[in-house]
Structure 1
Amino acid sequence: MKRFLAIVAFIQVILPGMVKADEGMWLPALINKLNINQMSKEGCSLKAEDIYSINHSSLKDAVVALDHGSCTAELISDEGLLLTNHHCGFDEIQEHSSVDHDYLQNGFWAKTKEEELPNVGKTASFLIRFEDVSEKVLSQLNDQMSTDDRNKKVREVSNEIEKEATGDTHYEARVQALYNENRYYLFVYETFRDIRLVGAPPQSMGKFGGDTDNWMWPRHTADFSMFRIYCGKDGKPASYSKDNVPYKPKYYLPISLKGYKMGDFAMILGYPGSTNRYKTSYGIEYTMNITNPIRIKVREEKQRIMQEFMNTSRKARIMYSAKYARSANYYKYSIGQNQGLKRLNVLEKKRQLEDQFTKWVNADEQRKAKYGEALRLIANSYKNIEDEKAFEYMVESMVRGPEIFYFAYRTRPLYDALKSDKNSEHVSLASERVRSGLDEFFKDYDSETDQKIAAALFKIYDENVAPQYHPPFFKTVKLKYGNDFEKYTKELYAKSIFGSQERLVRFFEAPKAKVLEKDPLFQASLEIFRMMGLIGDETGKTTEALERGNRLFVGGLMEMEADKNFYPDANSSMRLTYGTVGDYIPRDAVKYNYFTTLKGYIEKEIPGDDEFDVPAKLKELYYAKDYGRYADADGNLRTCFMTNNDITGGNSGSPVINGKGELIGIAFDGNWEAMSGDIAFENDLQKCINVDIRFVLWTIDKMGGAQNLIDEMTIAN
């Protein structure tokens, strides 16, 4: 869908501070041309080749995209040891946890490599090289092409470029459009598939402050976890095997214990996921009035039901911790983003830019012919949004809401095979694809909780979406159940083979099409996704005009401000951002220091509280002032600090690097006062919250007793 973009933000922005941020998520391969002189003035002593090089090892070779860009991680040893955020490893920590081995509550530290835990499906990707292929792609396009024809030609040319780039190697290649399809770039990657969990602090440290502190400063969270990359004995990527060996990297980051001071240079390399800095006022209005309110309304109810279940037992908490965290993060983000957009008057600023653009276009007949329709196309695309609203509700309430309906829909290929294909091999293959995931799905699934979520969210959908967008079973609920979704879903889950793992196991022993035809939950899932497709067809009718309008608008902006160095929106490709360490003033008469200490951690303690409980061992070490070599010059243990780097979601876990190329922290969050940064960057407001690397090392050493991991690292005193 053209506008349903999960604006996954993790942008760190604030109110008037001491130093203006350096706006831009820059392509590392271009910093020699665009940025290195300014970086040097701000305190970077490295050369551009030290940061990005395809001829020798460089900083880029120490930074990986986890799970194809959901997070970032950095290498810190010559044995493939990775650092990332605790919330980036949360799913794996939760997956390995049980009541008997509760790694969420107690933490996990592998004291030997044999104790490290494998994680099916987790990946780590290295950027091998980058190339501007705009000329190769754009030379095959013209303004008379329809959007479909244009996209088809782009894909055709891109496939040729990607095939040529990889040849007979094991590398992967992707041609990606940037600047709203005005430029095209080739990215070549090497992806490793055997990534093992090495260490994580207890949740009371790794998620200290919970939802209350999320997006807030001051922070005291030890938001880190550790993994290791394994490979085949030939050094190449390989699926998990006990015979695999630790990866020997081209480069890994040395660690600084010297810390930082106000105004020190700091840069971040990572894989930011998505920004929309070139979005027009029309798109921002849609985000503020449709996308964010829908997400807030639906997730608030979903999280309330999950929390009720999680409060019933330790097992329940373990089962739903990761699910709750994923939902809650962007629920709160959407609230903050809307507040930030209003407070910073972003709509008016965008309209002023659009007025300037219109005057510039109208001043020249050639520009009018080329760019004159841009804003009109965009504006018309947002006039009738009932179908868009329905799609947003559909995704939040039904696709991302209750889990069982999407799981049931995955059985459709088996149903089709049973109905139309008598080939037993095809039936067996389709059956195995679903059956193989049963244990994993039901391990962290509670049918009664899911049923309650379904009833509540279906009701929200019914009350907020026009009847023409309702799946057919909504009429059954109205006529047979008096519009009582609670009564309907209870019966639905009770009768369906998808209501329990035991029933599904029996079904897969001898699967039959008639069973699925009579299964009310399976049929409801078909209706949900059929309606989603129909709504998508409606939203797609304006896609061509919107895409063309956005492409022309950004292309025109780049021509209008030809002297400006434009950077592309984030798209999960590697970017570099640079700035400085600093504090900020969030509101009148309030000033925040640029770092926190363990003292503040203790001050926040609420014994027994899920968010602010403090481990007994941490308190013992604090009162004994047992900080070792990790204390700062004043004898304090710093926990977190702020910089003004320009980052967003996907940068979670990114290394914060000083001017010498040494690791000083790990980026993990932003501040509440400026959540609008994914759409509108404010130079006076940008902040990024990082965990101090000394707090990380202290936790590994003093709290975890994992000296084996400390010994692997190269630490500069």
Structure 2
Amino acid sequence: MKKILLSAFALSAVMTLAQQYGGMWIPTEVNEKEMKELGMKISAKDIFDPNKASIKDAVVQFDGGCTAEIISPKGLLLTNHHCGYDNIQSHSTVDNDLLTNGFWAKDMNGELPNPGVTVDFITDIKEVTGQILSGTQGLSGKELDAKIKQNTDAYITSQKPESYQKISVKPMYYGNKYYAYVIETYKDIRLVGAPPSAIGKYGSDTDNWVWPRHTGDFSMFRIYADKNNKPAEYSKDNIPYTPKHFLPISIKDKKEDDFTFVFGFPGRTTEYLPAVAVEKIMTEIDPAMISVRDVTLKTLDEKMRVDNATRIKYASKYARISNAWKKWQGEIEGLKKSNAVGKKQQYEQMLIAKNPAIKTTVDNLNRLYQEQAPYALNRAYYSELPRNSETLALASLFGSYVEAVENGTSSQKSLDNLKSRLSEIYKDYESGLDAKVTAKVLALYANKTPQQFLPSGFDNYKDAGQNTVTVENWAKNSVITGGGTVNGATVYSDINKVFADQNTLVKALKNDPLIQLYANLKNTYVKTTQDKVTAYQTEIDALQKTFMAQQMETDKERKFFPDANSTLRVTYGKVKGSNPRDAVTYGYQTHLAGVIEKYIPGDYEFNVPQKLISLYNTKDYGVYKDKSGDVPVNFTATNHTTGGNSGSPALDAYGNLIGLNFDRQWEGTMSDINYDPKLCRNIMVDTKYILFVIDKYADAKWLLNEMKIIK
């Protein structure tokens, strides 16, 4: 018995030590030894090999933000429902609501095109630090930036990619290293299938970032190519893309401590910040941004709950605003619970003991962050205004247009881009509802911001009720809200006609009180804050580069990985439950029974389609049940993920698809700043549930016939 206990303890200790700092590894530099110690059965070359087919050829960046993977020899793509949400919404109307009803093409002829959507393959990665930093010794500031840009441009020019490829050079470790990526972009991406939101978004905002979870967060697309299998613009003559590699799908049962790895495009992390930076995020920056979104979400929710058309129009916007709002709250709690600031302070003292020169770096970082703090806090509040108020976002866009016209920098390209951006906003914009949002965020800004950062007379905006009357009155005659006409048209009726006579439009815009309001806010921000916060940040960034180099040089026992920056990465861990609070223990797997337990008939978050209920009642599970006799829905593991990993494949020890990454556990969302293996869990849709929905719910067996399913 003692031997067994010792063995289990040793295994746990190895895992905890191995994942002490998490890891988002460049796929050409994965920690293969450690991965194999944790259970991986394939080689690093099987994951990424620029010279032959490997798993990397089945993993793409989806539409510039999420990740997706190829799961058939006919270019079938799997990603999250929330990653495909805008595209599903764009094909939806009140009469044909694909968000509510779901969508399943009956064959390839029924697949729906999505103009502008792209997927990117990474075909090669090379470290090019020597080339990029050549001749930069002794340079700093703008001179250093200019030399790095010159070297980067020279490197890219020296390469000879194919016509359908591009080269991108990315800094790593705060500019201490550089890597070049060869990218191939495919542009004809068609919607194949999506479950109804009652499955794909089950739990909606209540369950977002939360475990236990019961969400079928997946959607399906297909890559199309020209007759030579190369990238091409959309054409009815294009054919399904033939991949170099696609992922077999495993529906074998999972066990706790099974090895798993996630392959995708994590967006941004800051794992190597000094303690003072983490303290500012936790106590000042995150709370400020949360407070602005509090009032926005409450205002939108009141209308969305009683008006179905508003619910459809604002669904994507609400989800986008609430996503970060809830994440920041979990981040604060996790940073406190894991004692992130204290641990970083201890780590800094350990580094200083080994290398006294680091004390000067840390002291200067402490000073700079303290001096920057009031300006950074104002930036946090100010930047949230146009992110929450579309009226202020419109005022910003139109105001920038007026400036461009008056200083002679306007061009047809910039005008076309502006019209496209405006059309996106107006498509789902309600002036009256947004006036209420605008009124409330203006009141919050007026009440929370020190006088030194406010425009003269802005005390008049401290009352949200009075602001509502003011903004609604302005909106009735405003060109930007669609209440007023210019050149005989409104922005809703004919946006091209609105821009037909530039001089008339500019005159109207300059007299618009909403544009004048935002211009006043912007000018004050630029005058009081922008240069200050930027100047401090420039100094901080230079010191952070030094601090990063010092950490790598001093801490010889630690294996370092670069912070995420939307480049292709590998992270690995084990299938694992968690113990986030005293006397609270979470298992690693949820099941269909849990979906039914949460069911609230007619509720916008926890409604369940009748067919899914019938499948549960009849236990018509087929091969998709596990040893419990139920269908597994979601599971958790210790993979270190972040935004951008949405839609990433979760793979087993042999490189088979076992899940689809879509979220993190709320108690561990601070993993962007401080990974803690005790708290940090990524959440995945089980492949059994995905295939169960496709097969039993959607009756889309023609899609299953494309796949290689491992039973």
TM-score normalized by the length of structure 2:
0.91
Shift in Å at residue 430 of structure 1? 5.7
Which of residues 480, 496, 513 is equivalent to 1:498? Answer: 480
Q: 1:386 aligns with which of 374, 381, 388?
A: 374
Q: Distance in 1 between matches of 2:229 and 2:219?
A: 24
Q: Which has the higher contact order (CA 8 A, sep 6+)?
A: 1
Q: What is the match of residue 24 of structure 1?
A: 23
1:679 matches 2:661: no
Tell me, yes or no, if the aligned pair for 1:253 and 1:663 is still in contact at 8 Å.
yes
Match of 1:13 in 2: none
Alignment of 1:82-101 (within 5 A): 82-101=77-96
Confirm or deny: 8 A CA contact 2:321 2:388 kept in the other structure.
no
Label 1:74 to 1:482 Cα distance change in 2 as closer, same or farther (>3 A).
closer
Amino acid at match of 1:279: L
Q: Secondary structure at the residue paired with 2:257?
A: coil
Q: Which residue does the alignment assign to 1:131?
A: 126
CA deviation profile, 1:399-444 (whole Å, cap 9, x unmatched): 20211333343335653575566x9xx7766654444555443221
Alpha-carbon distance change, 489 to 80 in structure 1, aligned in 2, over 3 angstroms: same
**Long gaps (5+) in structure 1:** 1-15, 363-367
1:374 equivalent in alignment to 2:357: no
Task: Specify the alignment match of 1:285 in structure 2.
Answer: 279
SS of the residue 1:400 aligns to: helix
Q: Compared with structure 1, are the counterparts of its residues 597 and 413 closer, same or farther at alpha carbon in structure 2 (3 Å cutoff)?
A: closer
Deviations 1:156-185 (A, max 9, x none): 111222222354633122211111221111
Q: Deviations over 1:15-61 (max 9, x none)?
A: x9995373211111112xxx222222332221221111011000011
1:8 corresponds in structure 2 to: none
8 Å Cα contact 2:253-2:627 kept in structure 1: no
**CA 1:428–1:666 in structure 2 vs 1: closer, same or farther (change >3 Å)?**
closer
Q: Deviations over 1:119-165 (max 9, x none)?
A: 232221111111111122233222x3222221221121112222223
CA shift, 1:525, in A, is 3.8
Q: 3-state DSSP class of the match of 2:553?
A: helix
Query: What residue is the counterpart of 1:661 in the other structure?
Result: 655
Q: Which of 506, 510, 522 is equivalent to 2:515?
A: 522
* Higher mean C-alpha displacement, 484-493 vs 450-459: 484-493
Bigger shift: residues 442-451 or 483-492: 483-492
Match in the other structure for 1:12? none
Measured after TM superposition, the shift of residue 532 of structure 1 is: 4.3
**By how many angstroms is 1:473 displaced?**
7.8
Task: Report SS of the residue matched to 2:159.
Answer: helix
Q: Which residue of 1 aligns with 2:253?
A: 259
Q: Structure 1: how far apart are the matches of 2:435 and 2:96?
A: 29
Residues 424-463 of structure 1: matches in 2 within 5 Å? 431-436=415-420, 438-463=422-447
Match of 1:233 among 227, 231, 239: 227
In structure 1, give the amino acid aligned to 2:39.
G
What SS does the aligned partner of 2:96 have? coil
CA distance in 2, matches of 1:255, 1:431: 46
Query: CA 1:499 to 1:696, structure 2 compared with 1: closer, same or farther past 3 Å?
Result: same
| Distance in 2 separating the partners of 1:471 and 1:232 | 56
Q: Is residue 194 of structure 1 aligned with residue 198 of structure 2? A: no
- Given the alignment of the two structures, is residue 404 of structure 1 paired with residue 391 of structure 2, yes or no? yes
Q: Is the 8 A contact 2:443 2:461 kept in 1?
A: no
Residue 501 of structure 2 aligns with which residue? Answer: 510
Q: Deviations over 1:354-405 (max 9, x none)?
A: 122223232xxxxx3xx553113211211232221111111112x2021133
Secondary structure at the aligned position of 2:260 is classed as strand
Q: Contact 2:293–2:321 (CA<8 Å) still a contact in 1?
A: yes
Structure 1 residue runs of 4 or more that deviate by more than 4 Å after TM superposition? 16-19, 416-421, 426-433, 436-439, 475-478
SS at match of 2:269: coil
Letter in structure 2 aligned against 1:393: Y
The one-letter code matched in structure 2 to 1:153 is: K
Q: Which amino acid aligns with 2:226?
A: G
Quote the Cα distance in structure 2 between the aligned partners of 1:483 and 1:621. 50
Report the CA distance between 1:246 and its aligned residue. Answer: 1.7
Matched residue SS, 1:394: helix
Assess, with a 3 A threshold, how the Cα gap between structure 1 residues 519 and 630 changes in structure 2: closer, same or farther: same
| Paired residues of 1:19 and 1:582 also in contact (CA < 8 A) | no
d(CA) in 2 for partners of 1:714, 1:189: 27
The alignment partner of 2:650 has SS state of strand
| Shift in Å, 1:475 | 7.2
* Structure 2 unmatched ranges of 5 or more: 1-11, 484-488
Equivalent-residue separation in structure 2 for 1:141 and 1:409 (angstroms): 38
Question: Partners in 1 of 2:166 and 2:521 — Cα distance?
Answer: 35
Q: 1:51 aligns with which of 33, 47, 62?
A: 47
Deviation at 1:66, TM superposition (A): 1.4
Matched residue of 2:672: which SS? coil
- 1: CA distance between counterparts of 2:217 and 2:367? 44
Using a 3 Å threshold, how does the CA distance of structure 1 residues 471 and 247 change in structure 2: closer, same or farther? farther
Q: In 2 relative to 1, CA 589–244 (structure 1 residues): closer, same or farther, beyond 3 Å? A: same
Local SS of the residue matching 1:499? coil
Q: Distance in 1 between matches of 2:211 and 2:240?
A: 37
Give how far 1:531 is off: 3.9
Q: Distance in 2 between matches of 1:17 and 1:91?
A: 43
Relative distance call for 1:103 and 1:360 in structure 2 (3 A) is same
For 2:682 and 2:55, locate their aligned partners in 1 and report how far apart those are by CA, in whole Å.
20
Q: Percent identity?
A: 38
2:595 corresponds to which residue? 601
**Equivalents in 2 of 1:710, 1:53: separation in Å?**
28
Whichever residue aligns with residue 668 of structure 2, its letter is A
Contact 2:15/2:38 (CA < 8 Å) preserved in 1? no
Residue 115 of structure 2 corresponds to 120
Query: Deviation at 1:625?
Result: 0.8
Q: Please give the alpha-carbon distance, in whole angstroms, between the structure 2 residues aligned to 1:515 and 1:473.
A: 24
Corresponding residue number in structure 1 for 2:349: 355
Q: Relative to structure 1, is the Cα distance of residues 417 and 460 closer, same or farther in structure 2, using a 3 angstrom cutoff?
A: closer
In 2, Cα distance between equivalents of 1:103 and 1:632: 30
Tell me, what secondary structure is at the counterpart of 2:149? helix
The change in CA–CA distance for 1:472 and 1:434 in structure 2 (over 3 A counts) is farther
CA distance in 1, matches of 2:240, 2:256: 38
